[in-house]
Structure 1
Amino acid sequence: MVESEDGIVFLNGRTGRYWQLNGTGSEVVRLLLSGETVESAATRLQEQFPGETVQAVSDVHALVRQLQDAKLLAR
């Protein structure tokens, strides 16, 4: 994992695939790495983007599933 000005870039060393996350996705990953749960990370996004309550929860869950499927995040 490498942080850049635009977000975070992951490299799966086994497959050679790169994943680049934007600022919002990077914030979710940082929150999860700091010990936040998926639900609390979604709550934080809801606080940052008050009009997107349902979408924030859905987006965080979708991101986590994608990262798990790519073997970049443990279940």
Structure 2
Amino acid sequence: MSATYALNPKVSLAETDDGAVLLHERTGRYWQLNATGLLVLRSLTSGDSPEQAAQTLASRHTLPATRARDDVAALLASLCSADLLREGR
């Protein structure tokens, strides 16, 4: 079974005209996502696997599947290492 993801409870998300801003309330650090990053984040936090998020990204932006998978993996790694996104059970 694949992992599910959720925002860290200490993270606030505010959508903007061109994506979103994430605030980690414990560290006070802000992170900005463009519209594509927000698309991937929403996909992952709605229960999609990284592979499903990559398929959505590839079809929405006419990208090769390998590029979409790499982009989703890179964003996922960044969000998790910054403690913005956590793997759920």
Distance 2:41 2:15 in 1: 11
- Equivalent position SS for 1:3: strand
* Higher helix proportion (structure 1 or 2): 1
1:1-75 to structure 2, matched below 5 A, reads: 1-75=13-87
Structure 1, gaps ≥5 residues long = none
Identity of aligned residues (%): 45
List, as ranges, runs of 4+ consecutive aligned residues in structure 1 with deviation greater than 2 Å: 49-53
Structure 2, gaps ≥5 residues long = 1-12
TM-score, length-scaled by structure 1:
0.92
TM-score, length-scaled by structure 2:
0.79
Larger RCO (CA within 8 A; separation ≥ 6): 2
